[in-house]
Amino acid sequence: MKQKLLFITILFTAFSFAQTKSVIKGKITDKDMNNAPLAFANVSVKGSSNGVTTNEKGEYSISLPSGEYVVVFSFIGYETIEKIIDLKPNQTIELNVALGSGGYKLDDVVIKSVKKRNTETAILTEIKEAKQVVSAISAEQMSKGTDGNAAQAIQRIPGITIVDGKFVMIRGLSERYNNVLINGSLAPSTEIDKRTFSFDLVPTGLLDKMVIYKTGSADKPGDFSGGIISLNTIESTSDFTKFDISFGYRSKTTFNDYLQSEGSNTDFVGIDNSFRPLPSSFPTTSQLNNSAATSQLRVDAARSLPNNFDTNASNAFLDNSTGFSLGRKINLGNTKIFSVNALNYSTSYQSFSRSFRRYNFLNAGEARPTDWFTFNDMNYQQEVRITALSNWSLKTAKSKFTFKNLFNQIGENETTIRQGINFNQQANNTLKNYMYAYKSRSIYMGQLNGDHNLNSNNNIDWVVGYNYIRENEPDLRRFRTFKDVNSTSDNYTFQDPSSSNLFSGRYYGNLREFSANNGVNYTYTINRDSETEERSPIKIKAGYLADYKFRIFKSRYVSYVLKDYLTSARKDELTNLPLSTIFSNENINNQNGWVLEEGTKPDDSYKADNTLLSGYINTELPLGKFDINMGVRIENNTQKLRAFSNGNPVNVDNPVTSILPSLNIGYNINEKSLVRAAYSRTVNRPEFREIAPFLFYDFEYEVLKFGNADLKVATIDNIDFRYEWYPSKGETISFGGFYKKFTNPIEQIIQRTAEDPSFNFKNATSAVNYGAELEIKKSFKDLTNIPILNRLSININASYIFSEVDLGAAAQSQDSKRALQGQSPYIINGALGYEDEKGLGINLIYNRFGNRIFSVGDDAFNTYYEIERNQLDATISKKFKKLKVKLGLQNILNDPFKLMEDSNRDNKISKANDNVISSFKRGSLYTLGFSYNL
């Protein structure tokens, strides 16, 4: 570790040297206002972080080493001018520029008529001008790190942490308290078992920006508490052709052993349509249930399934990714058409060893609970991903139309081999349990947007969105083997189940979800300018949003069993066969072999739909230095479910109308600082899986999972306060606090099912959550006379949060008050960057979060905590004209992913008193990428 840190430190110093400073100074004026001074205009050096803003007189001065530069002059709503300057040592150049709102062209000036919104400066301006408490990250900032997808990049925003490498927590709140917009349209929940969005689906190269709204507003959806995350995919404003390729080496994985059962010849594109799925001729559930155990129907059905219960060994190759993107601009008179199309293909590998334990209850007088079981898992994973994007925009004099499409095809292959002892159930045996899983997901998200500036007072914008998700999990195989604990033999005996069950057999799951939404917003602007005074306009906004979502989920499982008519000798012979031959055709028959048993019940499928109808009215009212944004939103949501529980019908029909007021007040202290205060009421609705009684065996944690049809909608009252200071271009310092009061918060809990634990969902009575946030984004430019230090910048943000749940009468063998499930007590993010004028960039990025409850315990099982973890990443990038090379070091510290139980039930984790449930290390990832623009 010390060698790695020393290596990074050396890189920061090796590429820098002292140079003699020269000066560019001058004045920027407003060409459309008789060349009046233009205050707060931007002057920057292209390809570097150097830049200043003009003072009240429009004057600027910037110090640079000698050399050739492209100096960029810009101001929001005005043209952007670039001038090439050749600075000699100790030279002072005076350069005066006039900016206008029109478009023109000079020999040494490049005019850009389309305003960029994906730069760090543009994002800071958007945050400053927002009417809500907002945090964001731009495409420019994302390009500086190792982050390959939105999940990795978004954790650089204040108050953000990532769960499982893809799910977002805001202000330490569980991912279920977020809502996601893709290009202004509601995004689907991408996971079967939880309400969340998988942010790793979106590569950073396809993003313009990500904006997080942390306070409510009437014109935004009301189903959130952590935040609304708005993702905007790229729009092309110029012609480009770009190729990307990268390779990754992961410690303890790359070129090491990789085990996987036989797959299909289409796994490389993330699809299996022929090998693992049930054959089209396979009997239905009723046909198998109505057939005799010795029927030929069952024999033929079993023999039609592939015999793939053994693993094939190979070596994991380098992680790799290849991408191609193309942008084009078409001018048709006053109409402009922009398009960007991109295709990306990637493959990644992951293997690790995981310690997995469970403990009995800590009895009085015991210093440590006794072991329930101790296992060690060898886990092998491969993911194939294809991402396609096609975005089109059409602009006329008064309208803009965009049609954006994002498609992901993901294939996930996972093999887990678990070895150990279950002291409670099979203390005399060493167990070796297997799981072979393959999951294929197709996800499409499309949006058609329109924005129409009818005149200076009236504007209409609208969106039509459509989402489609299909998830197939064909032939999930889980089975158990054992041998005597004292045996030195390598042979294990197959544990034949007494009947078809979830723990041993072949499982087939299929989910399809469709959703469509439409929103329209009308804005009426009251201009208040006079001949002698310029005043901000009043805006009155009204609109609606309708969203319909439909899900159909089906699953099926079958098991191989040995019937009682077989002799003990024959049973022993069959159960001791090698995995490669145990279920071969000769061992499946209706005389002396394995028989296929149907296990599927009506409970194993469900249908659900959700209809949301909402409308709002909102007003933006500037009063002197105050900006007041107030409104009310009404949402009527009807959630329906048709399912079975223990064979009995379950019908949920839950219409709920919510009235959601909001108030955001901003006070502009001066041009560079302001204070915000906000109140909003929001809701948090259950997801389909959380109310579905479908029972699923989770091999990873050895638990059953099922939903709760009686879940209620949670209501949250939110209060926020923030002070923001923008000292200069690209810099900000902000400090804020927040308070949230929950009624009926939804939590994941652990409860007893027979002797074993299960994961379920439940409403707590109430909860509170409050905390503070700090962000500092500062450049070192011109702070010293040392060039290397002047090229540095820092971005530090931290959050401290306190939460408390009141369980009321529901508390069982635990304190009636504890922390909210999924809530981290603190979050720290830090970034240190170096960028010079020759295209060299070096960045160090750090993240840490505090212990948080993973699942809430009950009277029989203790609460599980996810343990604090540090992550340190680094990137080194260099531009060579059209080529950019980036070296990345990810997860340098390689801290373990760890779960611990609160063994002594004191609502905190101590290594001395509490015990580890799960622990593993993913390894460090070293990447080398090349990006070439034609």
DSSP code, position 225: S
What is the tens place of the pLDDT at every residue in 685-742?
999 999 999 888 889 999 888 999 999 999 999 999 999 998 887 788 999 999 999 9
Q: Which region among 466-475, 536-545, 748-757 has the lowest average model confidence (pLDDT)?
A: 748-757
Assigned token pair, 370: 């006794």
Higher pLDDT, 502 or 707: 707
| 3-class DSSP assignment, residue 171 | coil
Question: Under 8 Å CB-to-CB from 110, ≥6 apart: which residues?
Answer: 80, 81, 82
Higher pLDDT, 680 or 535: 680
Winning range, highest mean pLDDT, from 103-107, 357-361, 716-720? 716-720
Residue 106 has a pLDDT of 32
Please count the helices (runs of H) and the strands (runs of E) in the chain: 9, 51
Which of 374, 486, 392 lies closest to 446 in space, CA to CA? 392
What is the tens place of the pLDDT at every residue in 292-344?
988 999 999 999 999 999 999 999 999 999 999 999 988 887 788 999 999 99
Assigned token pair, 548: 């319909």
Do 604 and 510 contact (CB within 8 A), yes or no?
no
Q: Cα(19)–Cα(15) distance, rounded to whole angstroms? A: 13
What is the tens place of the pLDDT at every residue in 16-26?
333 446 889 99
Residue type for position 860 = A
Mean pLDDT score, 408-412: 95
Band of residue 120 on the pLDDT scale cut at 50, 70, 90: low
CA angle at 266 for the pair 264 and 272, rounded to the nearest 5°: 65
Residue 104 has a pLDDT of 35
Residue 69 has a pLDDT of 82
For the chain, what's the residue count?
934
Kindly tell me if the per-residue pLDDT of 32 is higher than 70. Answer: no
Residue 414 has a pLDDT of 97
Residue 22 has a pLDDT of 82
Q: Cα(683)–Cα(689) distance, rounded to whole angstroms? A: 18
As a whole number of Å, the end-to-end CA separation of the chain is: 39
Band of residue 202 on the pLDDT scale cut at 50, 70, 90: confident
Residue 16 has a pLDDT of 38
Q: Cα(750)–Cα(760) distance, rounded to whole angstroms? A: 6
Mean pLDDT score, 636-654: 95
Mean pLDDT score, 549-557: 95
Residue 107 has a pLDDT of 34
Do 382 and 347 contact (CB within 8 A), yes or no?
yes
What is the tens place of the pLDDT at every residue in 672-691?
899 999 999 999 999 999 99
Q: Cα(204)–Cα(644) distance, rounded to whole angstroms? A: 42
| 3-class DSSP assignment, residue 869 | strand
Which of 67, 56, 20, 61 lies closest to 43 in space, CA to CA? 61
What is the tens place of the pLDDT at every residue in 164-195?
778 888 887 878 889 999 999 999 888 877 78
Do 882 and 934 contact (CB within 8 A), yes or no?
yes
Residue 237 has a pLDDT of 73
Kindly tell me if the per-residue pLDDT of 763 is higher than 70. Answer: yes
Higher pLDDT, 243 or 111: 243
For all residues of the chain together, what is the average pLDDT?
A: 87
DSSP string, 99-161: E-SS---BTTB--B-S---SSHHHHHHHHHH-SS-EEEEEHHHHTTSS--BHHHHHTTSTTEE
Q: Cα(81)–Cα(409) distance, rounded to whole angstroms? A: 42
Dihedral angle of Cα 383, 386, 389, 390, to the nearest 10 degrees = -170
Assigned token pair, 923: 């390894």
What is the 3-state secondary structure of 11-23?
Answer: HHHHCCCCCCEEE
- Alpha-carbon Rg for the chain, nearest whole angstrom, is 30
Kindly tell me if the per-residue pLDDT of 7 is higher than 60. Answer: no
Band of residue 815 on the pLDDT scale cut at 50, 70, 90: low
Structure pTM? 0.83
CA angle at 723 for the pair 718 and 725, rounded to the nearest 5°: 145
DSSP code, position 647: T
Question: Under 8 Å CB-to-CB from 276, ≥6 apart: which residues?
Answer: 263, 264, 306, 438, 474, 475
Q: Which region among 351-355, 481-485, 487-491 has the lowest average model confidence (pLDDT)?
A: 487-491
Residue with the two structure tokens 């922390």: 819
What is the tens place of the pLDDT at every residue in 424-447?
999 999 999 999 999 999 999 999
Do 200 and 149 contact (CB within 8 A), yes or no?
yes
Assigned token pair, 651: 């019908």
Higher pLDDT, 878 or 162: 878
Outline where DSSP puts E strands in 671-814.
673-684, 696-698, 703-705, 714-725, 732-743, 746-753, 756-763, 766-779, 792-806
What is the tens place of the pLDDT at every residue in 572-616?
999 999 999 999 999 999 889 999 999 999 999 999 999 999 999
Q: H/E element holding 568?
A: helix 568-575
Count of CB atoms situated within 10 Å of the CB of 606: 24
Higher pLDDT, 882 or 77: 882
Determine phi and psi for 9, rounding to 5 degrees.
-60, -40
Kindly tell me if the per-residue pLDDT of 814 is higher than 70. Answer: no
| 3-class DSSP assignment, residue 215 | coil
DSSP code, position 686: P
| 3-class DSSP assignment, residue 455 | coil
Residue 475 has a pLDDT of 94
Q: How far out from the chain centre does Cα 820 lie? A: 21
Mean pLDDT score, 265-285: 94
Q: Kindly give the residue spans of alpha helices, DSSP state H, lying in 631-765.
A: 688-691
Residue 102 has a pLDDT of 44
Higher pLDDT, 846 or 120: 846
Q: Cα(682)–Cα(698) distance, rounded to whole angstroms? A: 32
Mean pLDDT score, 245-264: 95
| 3-class DSSP assignment, residue 398 | coil
Residue 228 has a pLDDT of 93
Q: Cα(34)–Cα(439) distance, rounded to whole angstroms? A: 65
Mean pLDDT score, 858-875: 89
Q: Is 95 exposed, middle or buried (0-12, 13-18, 19+ CB in 10 A)?
A: middle
Q: Is 17 exposed, middle or buried (0-12, 13-18, 19+ CB in 10 A)?
A: exposed
Band of residue 530 on the pLDDT scale cut at 50, 70, 90: low
